[in-house]
Amino acid sequence: MNATQPHFRKTDLTVTHVLAALLERLEQSSVPVGAEQYRSVVQHLVNELGDVEPGTALGALLDTHPAAAELYENVNYQYAGLCRSALDASLSAERQAKEVLDRAMRQAMNRSNTPPKEDPTHGKS
């Protein structure tokens, strides 16, 4: 009989924090970073994020490390989509686009309802 072992989540985020900070430094580096080094940091961070207890401590860590937050979203996309992406910017852009389209539509309607102005010089030389 195969008994499954319960998976205990980590509550100590020290290693996760170090890896998230390192990824942030690699992302912002002005010096080229080796692909193998980058891949190694990302893979270690993915493994840590998979073992960490979700909650406010993880949320705070991800709030202060945008690269780690993006990685977390990508790894967990199948479960929650882009759960950490700011919706405010998307909603604002959508509202602005709607306002521009509404304004353009009103202007087009006003032009089509207004009879054309006669040219005072029409027919005169």
Per residue in 18-41, pLDDT (tens digit) is 999 999 999 999 999 999 999 999
- 69-98: per-residue pLDDT in tens? 989 888 876 655 555 555 566 667 778 888
Domain ranges for the chain? 14-83, 85-114
Quick one: which of 64, 84, 74 has its CA closest to 24?
64
> Among residues of the chain, what percentage have pLDDT more than 70?
73
Contact 48, 19 (CB under 8 A): yes
- Looking at per-residue confidence, does 93 or 54 come out higher? 54
pTM over 0.75: no
For residue 110, give both structure tokens.
Answer: 């006003």
Contact 71, 49 (CB under 8 A): yes
What is the per-residue burial (b if ≥16 Cβ within 10 Å, else e) of 61-90? Answer: bbeebebbbbbbbeebeeeeeeeeeeeeee
Confidence tier at 61 by pLDDT (50, 70, 90): very high
pLDDT at 107: 87
